[in-house]
Structure formats: C-alpha cells, structure tokens
Amino acid sequence: MSAQFPVARPRRLRRTPALRRLVAETRLAPAELVLPMFVKEGITEPHPISSMPGVVQHTRDSLRKAAHEAVEAGVGGIILFGIPAVKDGDGSAADDPAGIVQLALRDLTADLGDAAVIMTDLCLDEYTDHGHCGVLTAAGEIDNDATLERYASIAIAQASAGSAVLGPSGMMDGQVAAIRSALDGAGYQDIAIMSYSAKYASAYYGPFREAAECAPQFGDRATHQQDPANADESLREVFLDLAEGADMVMVKPAGAYLDIVRRVRDEVDVPVVAYQVSGEYAMIEAAARNGWVDRDRTMMESLLSIRRAGANLVLTYYATEAARRLARGAH
Ligand code: PBG
C-alpha cells in the first residue's frame, strides 16, 4: 500500500553503506585516540596482564616497539604509566629522574619526536607501597596538601624528561593549581595539563590495579574519587580545574558515564577527554571470548558512542587496533 501523502521515511538515508557513511553525524579518527601504556622496571620480557588480554606491562624495549606501532597506525597520543621495581611510603620512584617513567619518556621522545603526543599519568598509587594516590598521615589517611607537594615534584620530573601533557589522576583538591605553579616556576609554561577532573570511585578500574600493581592495601579511594551517584559535582570539579589552569578535562570511566561526558561537553570550551578504562576493555574481551558479542563491532561501537556523547579525545586500550581499522576504512 502506498501512502496518499508524503510520509517521512528516515530509512531512505539508511539504505546503503555509502548513504549511511555520507550522513553519519559522528566519525572516529585515529588522531583522537590515545593509547595508555604500562612500562615496568626490571623485567626482561613483556608481562601479560591476565584481566586485560592483549595488554602487557612493557619492558623499555617492548614499549618502544609498541609505541612505534601505535604511531604508525596514526594514534594521536600515548599516555605512560610506570611500575617501579621498589615501592615505598612516599612513592619516591615517581619523581626520581632515573625512575622508570622518566627513562621511558626519554626513549619515546627521542624515538618519536612530534609524531604523537607523549603524555604521562601523574599520580602516586603506582609508586607507593600502600597503593594509595597520596602520602598518608600517621592515622593512615591521605594527606591532601602534603600530596600536592609530591605531585609538584613529579610534575617537574616528568616535564624535564619530555612529557608534553601531564595527567593528574589522584583527585586531590588543588592538584591542578599546585602542578601549574610548579611547572611555571621551573620554566615549563608550555607543558599542558589534562586533568582527570570528573573521576569516579569506580569498580571498572579493577583490571588496572593488576596492570599497575596498585590495589590499595587497605581502605579504598572513595574519599577522593567521586560518588557514582553524583552528576552536578562533576561540573564543580571541572570548573575548579579550569580555574586552576587545566588545558583539557577528563571524564572517567567513559561508557557508564556518557551523561557526564555530554554535560561537560555542553559546559566547557576546552577539549573534553574520556577514558575507556580497564574494566570496560576487560568486559568486552571477556564477552567476546565467550562468543557472546562480536568483539570488533563492540569495540568500535563503544568508541563511537563515547565520541557521540561529546568526547573530543578517547583514551582506550584499543587505540592502535581501532586506528588500524579506521585507516582501512572499516568501522
Ligand atoms: C590512578 C589511575 C587509575 C587509573 C588511571 N589512573 C586507577 C585508580 O584510580 O584506581 C585507572 C585506569 C583504568 O582502569 O584503565 N593513577
């Protein structure tokens, strides 16, 4: 039966792959993807992370090779996480000029030049023996302001080793201001800050704690990371970070917080970054291994959805693979 009058037929524009490609509202590009990478001190072979199949703790050499592959695929950036051989209460390996991240930074900046943006996560949890993101008081609580002094020192160590963008992820109050003033005071006015502004106290970080060997030995991160129940609070954190000098703001995790990504995108005029975290990756991998979802389609759909929600950049363990698919014209 044909219509008696013009009927809206949205399906017309979905009819062929070429039509769908023509009218797609959101596109993913390799340059918008950032690959998080782990480098561990004192290992001679890359070490697989069992809860993140396909992701490894790198040696300095394997890191260089994998970073080169990421750049070949067109990935826009790399963010480094270091795992020192020895951890202590102050996380002293974090700002050691000969610490693992600083060494890896020198390797990558020498190898890659400006072919991709080399960034660093700036936190203490990978470096402390207690696994917390800051230094502790005698009572075992995180000392916010003493932690800021540590972050300032780490910022200078990372900047002087060649990091172009620092990503403070500890959710301490005042961390962006402390890092900005330390950088400016040391002549690093040009080094950017990508703040993990709206970072939730999330179960989705589970596999990362294996990857970075940083599970808290007691307690949790709920006194500094945000309560998953809250959305308005994210804007407060974002505006504070911008006032303190953040150049980009991040929402983390991504998939379960797309409403936050959208709200932040609508409120700010700086790049919005979203982090598809370890648990998001692990869930796709686990379901795919069971044959329950199509891995490649789920990977690409998850990334596209994060972009559609408003993220300009996506940190994802799939960065190299997704970039290769995009370069082939696949979705
Ligand atoms: C803290 C940090 C964490 C992640 C990135 N930076 C762990 C945490 O807050 O507990 C998690 C990333 C992921 O799960 O992929 N340095």
Task: Give the count of alpha carbons within 13 A of 251, CB side only.
Answer: 33
What does the block give as tokens for 26? 């959101």
pLDDT reading at 298 higher than 80: yes
pLDDT at 214: 87
| Closest to 284 in 3D by CA, of 304, 255, 310, 257 | 255
> What pTM does this model have?
0.96
Q: What is the pLDDT of residues 169-203, one digit of tens each?
A: 999 999 999 999 999 999 999 999 999 999 999 99
pLDDT reading at 103 higher than 80: yes
Domain 26-327 has CATH 3.30.160.20: no
CA of 122 to the centre of ligand 1 (A): 10
What confidence category does residue 321 fall into, taking pLDDT thresholds of 50, 70 and 90?
very high
pLDDT at 2: 60
Looking at the DSSP assignment, which residues form a beta bridge with residue 38? 57, 81
Candidate of 123, 257, 302, 318 to mutate for ligand 1, largest count of ligand atoms within 8 Å of Cβ: 123
Task: Give the count of alpha carbons within 13 A of 269, CB side only.
Answer: 1
Is the CB of residue 277 below 6 angstroms from any atom belonging to ligand 1?
A: yes
Is the CB of residue 121 below 6 angstroms from any atom belonging to ligand 1?
A: yes
User: What percentage of the chain carries pLDDT values higher than 70?
Assistant: 99
Where in the chain are the domains?
26-327
Q: Whole-number mean pLDDT of the chain? A: 96
Query: What is the arithmetic mean of pLDDT over 50-72?
Result: 98
Q: What is the pLDDT of residues 67-98, one digit of tens each?
A: 999 999 999 999 999 999 999 999 999 999 99
Strands 56-58 and 47-48: antiparallel
Q: What is the pLDDT of residues 191-240, one digit of tens each?
A: 999 999 999 999 999 999 988 888 888 888 998 999 999 999 999 999 99
Is the CB of residue 316 below 6 angstroms from any atom belonging to ligand 1?
A: no
Residues comprising the chain, all counted? 331
Atom of ligand 1 lying closest to residue 124 CA: 16
HEC readout, 2-30: CCCCCCCCHHHHHCCHHHHHHHCCCCCCH
What confidence category does residue 330 fall into, taking pLDDT thresholds of 50, 70 and 90?
confident
